Chains A and B, each alone.
Chain A
C-alpha cells in the first residue's frame, strides 16, 4: 500500500517537474526571440545610420565636385596659379569620398553599382579634364570652350550631378524604407515582449495550480495510507500466514491471530513477551545464534526451521522467515512469517526413517550375502556377472575384477560355458527356477554344488536378470556316496549271509541224505534189540534235523525274496485231505482227534499256490498236534469274503493243548523264538516254523493270527485270498478235447501207472507205460513223433525223470510236452524240472480235473500254434533282442530284409573262397559276417565264423576250414528259414 502511495507522489512530482521544465524552455525561447528582435532592430538602425552617412558623403562629394569646378573656372579665368593646389586638394577629397561611398554601398543592395561605376568614370573624366586644364592653360580657346555652358566641362559636371542626385534620391528612398522597417521591428519587439509576459504568466499560474493540486493529492494519499495500514493489518490477520514482529531484543510487538492458533497462546498473551519462550528448549541456543548472526550481519532476510512448544506442550516444527525492519538505516526489529511444517517434517522424517530402514535392510542383506555359506551371484540377461558374494570368490578362487562384467566363457571351458548358458536360457524362457548339480575345482578342491538359477523380475514382472544360489553339497554328496556304498556293502553282506545259510542248508542236506539212506538200509539189516533202538533214534534225529534245515532254507529264501509263488488251479479239499493223511499215523498214536470241518459254500477250485498252502497247514497243524497231549485238533475251513471271482478263505486251527503263555503271544511269529527254552528242549525245532508261515502267507496276500482259547489250548486263524475258478467245464468237454491223444506215462509205481492210465483212458486217450526213463527213451526212439504228451515221474530207478527229459530235449531234440509228477513237494524239484525242460509239474496224489486242465492247456494250446513254430522257437538259432532298441517294426523289418538280401550271397562267396583257399579274403569276409551274425545273436554261427577267421588269418588248422564253412552255410540256411518266418510274424503284429 505504501509503495502505491509513493508511486503516486512520484507521479505528481514528475508532472510539476515537467511543467517547470516546460516553463524554463518557454522563457529561454522567449529570451532568444527577444534577442533576435533586438538584433534585428540594431541592424535596421545601423542601416538607417548608414544610409544617412552615405547620403552625407554624396552631399559632400557634390559639394567638393562643385568646389573643384569653381576652382578650375577661377584658374582658367584668372590664370592664377594659386588655384592649382586647391584643385588638387579637392580632387583628393573627391577620390576619398568616392572611395568611401563605393566601399559603403558595395554591400548595400539598395544602391545600384552600375550607377556607381558610371559615376566613377565620370568623376575620373572630370578630374582628367581639370588636370589637363591645369597643364594646358595655353590653349585659351579651348578653355573657353570648355568652360562655356555648352562646353565639355559643364556637361561632365552636369552628368555627375545627375548621377549624384539620383543616388541621393535612391538613398533617401532607402532611408525611408529602412526607417519604416526599423519602426516595424520596434513594434515587433514590443509585441514579442508582451506575448512572452503573457506566457510567463500562464506558466506561473499553472505551476501554482499544479502545486496546489499536488499538495492536496499528497494530503489525500496520506489519508489513504492511514486507511491502508488498517486494511494491511486485517489482511495479515486473515492471510492464513502466521506473522509477528519483534523489536531488536526479540520482544513481540505485534502478532496476528494465526500466531495464537499456532501456539495456543492468545495474541494478548504474546505481545510483550520474548519470542524465545515459544522455543523448544533444545533449540534455544541455535535459534538465538541464528538471529544474532542475522542482526549483526544485517542480513535482510533469513529462513530457519526449528521446533516450538505450544501452550499445550506439543512440539511443532515451523519454518520462520525473518526480515529485518529498518528505519533510517537503523534496525528496528524483526518481521517474522511462520509456517507450520510439522506435517512436512513428519513426512520427511518418515522418509528418512524408511530410507534408514531400507539402508539397514540392504546392510542386513549384504551381511547375509557376504556371510552365507552359499555361493550367490547375479547375472544380467547378457550373461555378464553383476554381483558375486564372498563365498563365491572363496570357493571358486576368483576376485571381483575377474568376474564382474564377464561371462562364464571368460573363465570356463567353452563346453562348460555352453552348459551354463543353456541353463540361463532355460531360466529366461521358462521364467522359472532351474536346478542343476555342478562341480568345480577351486582352491578348496573339488566342490559339488547344487545350483538354483532363478529369474529376477521387476515390478512389471519383466525379467531383468538371473540370480543364482549355489549350495555346497560336497559333504552331502560324499556322505551319500558313502551311504550308498555302505548300503551296498550291507546288502552284499546280508546277501552273502543268506547265501551262506542257503548253501549250508544244501550242504548239510546232502550228507544227511546219506545218513538217512544208510540208516534206512541199516534198519533193513538184522540188528539186535539195542542196535535197532539206537538206529531208530538216529533216524528220528535225522528227520528232525532235515525239517530244521529245510526250515532254514525256506526262511532264508523268504528273507531274500527268492520265493516265487505258483498260480495254478487246485482243489482245496485235495490239499486238506493230503494234510490230513500226513497226520493220520501220529494222531492215532497219540489218541487225538483230528477233525476237519468244511463250509458248504467252499469253492471247488481256486487259483493259487497249493504247495505253499500245504506247507503252512502242515506246519500249524503239526504244532497243534505236537503240543496237544489229549483232546482234539480241529480245522475249520470257510469262505469269509466272496466278491466276483475273488474269495478269501479262512482256516481256523484250534487245539486243546498247552497254549502259549500270554507274555509270549506277541513274539510267536518272530524268527528263532519259542515259547520258552524248555519248549525247545521238550519239543525241538528251530523256532522258524511260524515265522516261515507268516512270511509265506504274506507273500500270498494273506494273514495269520493267534489267540489263546478261553479254556485251554491255542487257536490260529489263517486267511488267504484266492481267485475262484468258475465252475469246472465238465468232463465231457474235456474228454472230447483229449480224445485220441497218445500219452506216454513214465512211472515206476504200478498203482500210479494204473491210476494215470485209467484217468487218461477215461477221456479217450491212448496210453503207453514205461517203467523208467530208459524204457521211455527207447519207446520215443521207436515212435518218434507219435506221442502227444509225456507224464513223467521224477524219482525212478535206472534213469530218473530229470535225466530222461534232458535226453529227450537235447539228444532226441523232441519238444513234446512233458508233465512232471512227483510225491516230493519240494520247490527245488519244481525248479529243476523246469531247468531240464519239463513243461508242467504235478503233485501226487493228483486231482483228476487238475490233470485234465493241465493236459488241455498244454495240448490244445500247442495245437492252435503251427507245429513247426514249436520247433523253431526252441531251436532258434538267433535272438533279436539286441535290436530291440529299434523299437518300431518297420525299422526292424528293414534291417532283417537287408540281412536276408546280402547274407546268402556272402555265404556262397565264403564257400567259394574256402574252396579256392583264398585265406586272406576269407578271413576278412568271415570277420565281416561274424559281426552281423553276432548282432543277431546267432551265437553258434558267429563263433564258427570266428574260428574260421582266426584259422584263415593265422593259417592254423586250415584243413578244418572247409568243414566249418559247410556247417556255417547249413546253419545259416536253417536260420534263414526261421528268420523269414519270424519276419512274417513281425509283419503281422
Chain B
C-alpha cells in the first residue's frame, strides 16, 4: 500500500508521513506539485493525499491528472477552514475525500482506511 503525500509545509508533511508509516503504509513524501506529479508517474501510488495550495501545481491539478489517468488513483484533499469552495471544485474533479486543517492524525488515518475499504483495497 503506497501513499503519496503532497504538502509544501515541511512539518505537516513530516507529521503525515510519520503517522502513515506507523500505520504500515509505504509513504512517498513530496514537497510541491511538480515533485508530486513526477512521483505519481514513476511510483504509481495507491492513494494520494494532497494539499490544495502548493507551488508549481495545486491539489486541484493533481486531482484532475489522477482522474484522467487509467488507474483512477484515489485522492484525499487537505484543505484549510475557509476553502470550502475549492473543496467543492476538487470533488467535482473527482476527489474522493477531504480533511480540514487542522486535523487529528487519528482522523487522517481513519479516513485513509475508510477510503481504502470503500474502494476495496486494504
Residues of chain A whose beta carbon lies under 8 Å from any beta carbon of chain B: 413-416, 418-419, 881-888, 891, 894-895, 898-899, 902-903, 924, 927-932, 934-937, 942, 946, 950
Contact = CB atoms under 8 A, between A and B. Distances in A.
B53 A894 contact: no
Nearest to A891: B18
A419 B120 CA distance: 7
A439 to B, nearest CB: 14
Contacts of B18: 886, 891, 894-895
A946 to B, nearest CB: 7
Interface residues of B, number: 27
Nearest to A879: B102
Interface string B1-30: 000000011111011001100100000000
Contact of B82 (A882, A902, A950): A950
Interface stretch (B40-48, B66-74, B104-112): B104-112
B11 A903 contact: yes
A898 B10 contact: yes
Given A898-B11, A898-B14, A927-B80, 9 more contacts: A886-B18, A886-B22, A888-B22, A902-B10, A927-B53, A928-B53, A930-B101, A931-B101, A931-B102
Contacts of B105: 882-886
Contacts of B12: 931-932, 935
A932 to B, nearest CB: 5
B106 A884 contact: yes
Contact of A413 (B15, B102, B120): B120
A934 B11 contact: no
A928 B15 CA distance: 15
21 contacts: A415-B120, A415-B121, A882-B102, A882-B104, A884-B106, A885-B106, A886-B15, A886-B18, A891-B19, A924-B53, A928-B8, A928-B53, A931-B78, A932-B12, A934-B80, A934-B81, A934-B101, A935-B102, A937-B102, A946-B80, A946-B82
Contacts of A930: 80, 101
A419 B117 CA distance: 10
A419 B118 CA distance: 11
Contacts, number: 83
A340 B105 CA distance: 88
Nearest to B83: A927
Contacts of B106: 884-885
Contacts of A414: 120
A899 B11 contact: yes
B103 interface: yes
A888 to B, nearest CB: 8
A416 B120 CA distance: 7
A929 B80 CA distance: 11
A931 B10 contact: no
A548 B59 CA distance: 62
A935 B22 CA distance: 18
A928 B12 CA distance: 10
**Most B C-beta atoms less than 10 A away, residue of A891, A903, A924:** A891
Interface in B30-58: 51, 53
Contact of B81 (A888, A899, A936, A946): A946
Nearest to B15: A895
Contacts of B14: 894-895, 898
B52 to A, nearest CB: 9
Contacts of A416: 120
B82 A931 contact: no
A925 to B, nearest CB: 10
A283 B120 CA distance: 72
Nearest to B11: A899
Question: Of B9, B81, B120, which is in contact with the most chain A CB atoms at under 10 Å from its CB?
Answer: B9
A689 to B, nearest CB: 46
Nearest to A942: B102
Contacts of A885: 19, 104-106, 108-109
A931 to B, nearest CB: 5
Chain A interface, >50% SS class: helix
Contacts of B82: 946, 950
A881 B104 contact: yes
A415 B11 CA distance: 35
A683 B80 CA distance: 64
Contacts of A895: 11, 14-15, 18
A887 B104 contact: no
Nearest to B103: A882
Contacts of A419: 120
A384 to B, nearest CB: 21
Contacts of A937: 102
Most A C-beta atoms less than 10 A away, residue of B78, B102, B109: B102
B9 A932 contact: yes
Contacts of A931: 9, 12, 51, 78, 80, 101-102
A760 B40 CA distance: 72
A931 B121 CA distance: 30
Contacts of B8: 928
B12 to A, nearest CB: 6
Given A883-B105, A937-B102, A415 B119 contact: yes
A418 B14 CA distance: 33
A902 B22 contact: no
Nearest to B7: A931
A779 B82 CA distance: 46
A887 B105 CA distance: 10
A594 to B, nearest CB: 58
A750 B30 CA distance: 70
Contacts of B119: 415
Interface in B72-113: 78, 80-82, 101-106, 108-109
Closest 3 CB pairs of A and B: A415-B120, A885-B105, A934-B102
Contacts of A950: 82
A98 B109 CA distance: 156
Contacts of A418: 120
Contacts of B102: 882, 931, 934-937, 942
Nearest to B119: A415
A930 B22 CA distance: 25
A882 B82 CA distance: 20
Nearest to B23: A885
Contacts of A902: 10-11
A18 B81 CA distance: 132
A790 B111 CA distance: 49
Given A898-B11, A934-B101, A887 B120 contact: no
A931 B13 CA distance: 11
Contacts of A413: 120
A898 B80 CA distance: 21
A921 to B, nearest CB: 11
Given A416-B120, A931-B51, A883 B11 contact: no
A869 to B, nearest CB: 25
A413 B118 CA distance: 13
B101 A928 contact: no
A935 B53 contact: no
B31 to A, nearest CB: 11
A826 to B, nearest CB: 37
B19 A886 contact: yes
A525 B52 CA distance: 73
Nearest to A414: B120
Contacts of A883: 15, 105
A942 B102 CA distance: 10
Instruction: Give the interface centre of A930, A932, A950 by most chain B CB atoms within 10 Å.
Output: A932
Contacts of A928: 8-9, 53
Contacts of B53: 924, 927-928
Contacts of A888: 22
A928 B119 CA distance: 31
A902 B8 CA distance: 12
Most chain-A CB neighbours within 10 Å: which of B14, B18, B103, B108? B18
Nearest to B21: A891
Contacts of B80: 927, 930-931, 934, 946
Contacts of A935: 11-12, 15, 101-103
A75 to B, nearest CB: 158
Nearest to A937: B102
